[in-house]
Amino acid sequence: MSVWDTAFAISIMPILLKGLWLTIQITLVGFVISLVVGLVVAVIRYLKIPIISPLATFYVSFVRGAPLLVQAYVAFYVLPLLGVTFDALPTGIVVIGLNYSAYTAEVYRAGIEQLHKGQWEAATALSLPRWRTWVRIVIPQAVRPIIPVLGNYLIMMFKDSAILSSITIIELLGSALSIGSSYYRYLEPISIIGLMYLAISFPCSLLIKKLERRFVPQH
């Protein structure tokens, strides 16, 4: 009997591909959440609004300081004890999105702070409303150089989504573990998902390097 069973590997591919598709969905929706929440948090911190800005700073420090696995456990296993209950999938998506929002907030803030003061002065001279200054001038110019960093976070989120299998979400890793426990064979499913993670992450990392050369000024 050979260690690797090709027929078994082929038979489990539909299940693993379904798990891969769910992983991609979790990653994309979670990433959108992280981008939106991260931008809001970054702007609040930059504006130095009394009470609110310190709370935003605390949010970033707290979320970055707690492991994603712990946050997932708190959201799925602890909050229901307090009467707050959600299904596993939306819980996992929100948790990973909010977790990464703390990191994207710092990236956004760095992009905003490196914006030349002349941009603000020009907007003031043109009597542009504050909100339009942010939407038309600040955010577009702040985001451009940080696109590669945000892309790296997207790849990291794709891989970190495996943690959500711990709260019963049958994504890619969850699918592999389910197959392994059902058939008592872990070699094929774990090996295949490892190749799947690599097949998506590696090309994306090459694309991000190209984006970095295009958007980040070279000194």
Quote the DSSP letter at residue 168: T
| pLDDT at position 138 | 84
| pLDDT at position 1 | 53
Residue 73 near residue 166, CB atoms below 8 Å: yes
| pLDDT at position 217 | 64
Q: What percent of the chain has pLDDT over 90?
A: 78
Q: Spell out the domain ranges in the chain.
A: 6-215
| pLDDT at position 145 | 87
| pLDDT at position 219 | 53
What confidence tier does 218 reach under pLDDT thresholds 50, 70, 90?
low
Q: How far is CA 117 from CA 39, 112, 124, 205, in A?
A: 20, 10, 11, 33
Mean pLDDT of the chain: 92
Q: Which tens digit of pLDDT belongs to each residue from 197-209?
A: 999 999 999 999 8
Least confident of 68-77, 89-98, 113-122: 113-122
pTM of the model as a whole: 0.92
Tokens of 61: 């420090």
Q: Which tens digit of pLDDT belongs to each residue from 8-67?
A: 999 999 999 999 999 999 999 999 999 999 999 999 999 999 999 999 999 999 999 999
By residue count, the chain amounts to 219
Topology, domain 6-215: MetI-like fold (1.10.3720)
